[in-house]
Amino acid sequence: MFGFFQTHRLLLAPMAGVSDEAFRALCREQGADLAYTEMVSAKGLSFANEKTRRLLALAPGEDQVAVQLFGHEPDVMARQAAWVEDELGPALAYVDVNMGCPARKIVSKGDGSALMKDPGLAAAIVRAVSSAVKHPVTVKFRRGFAQGEETAPAFARAMEDAGAAAVCVHGRYAEQYYHGRADWGVVARVKEAVRVPVVGNGDVTRGADAAALVAQTGCDAVMIARGAEGNPWLFAQAKAALAGETAPPPPGTGERIAMARRHARLLAAREGKNIVRMRKHAMWYLSGLPGAAAARGKINACVSVEDFDRVFDELLERAGLPA
């Protein structure tokens, strides 16, 4: 995978409830080299759960996608990875195993970052999945599980030995959730510990952050997560920073609202009339704009494209811009 990350240096993270095909399409347009699906339950796929399978839907024109699976049973993970490979064919870039999600409902079942507490089981999953698919298998994990106990470098070596073709490390402990600052130093320590490509993740909120993360750690690629929420332009800014070019100007009010409208329509095409998922995206797009705080209640009542359009029109009028 060394060559792959020379051309795919900016990645959109697998965020539950966020990284659907609508959001992936907008981030790819702005410069993301590859996007991950939302994390997909291997157990849900094994039950042929339609809601779970929908997470694998591609955006129009999406040439490739990375699929992130979560689970803790090696045989189930392997079978469903093979099914995903057959289902997506050449559109699959690689299979990623989630060993970093800190959510209680995930960890309580032994999934996500809970696997960092059992490196033997984690390695067994990687070996099983790698044996079941032809595509590369990667692993995403955190600095460690318990706060103050950094295990990522040793864990990364174990995953490499088990067959992982690349690893991604987030610079917080699982017990931190998303509090405090991400420690980029652990990305450098993982990079020193393994021979496979390393993706750095955590607190990339400006284009300059992407360039700084690479410079400070030597990581092969950068994964952007919450910084892109309501701000897909971050990928264009990061791409410019990595190339040593002048960053494009930040979007103005009209551009932000226009992107929010597009996002609402893409979601409607995916989910039909009821697009309540757009509420959080709208809040992110409009954050800091004049009248956004007062519009919060109206946004929380929106259920259709037309509802969102009315709110967007009011904000444009308040800013003195044409609807």
**Identified catalytic residue from 27, 101, 219, 302:** 101
Q: Which amino acid is at 50?
A: E
Q: Are 154 and 193 spatial neighbours (Cβ–Cβ below 8 Å)?
A: yes
Phi and psi based region of residue 31 (left: phi greater than 0; alpha: psi -120 to 50; beta: remaining):
left
Q: How far is CA 289 from CA 89, 202, 284, 304, in A?
A: 43, 26, 10, 22
Q: Which residue, among 148, 227, 143, has the nearest Cα to 183 in the 3D structure?
A: 143
Q: Which of 231, 187, 176, 168 is nearest to 205 (CA)?
A: 231
User: Any residues with CB less than 8 A from the CB of 271 and at least 6 apart, and which?
Assistant: 277
Q: What angle do CA 184, 226, 138 make, to 5 degrees?
A: 65
**Distance, first Cα to last Cα, the chain:** 47
CA 4 centroid distance within chain: 18
168 is catalytic: no
Catalytic residue numbers read 101
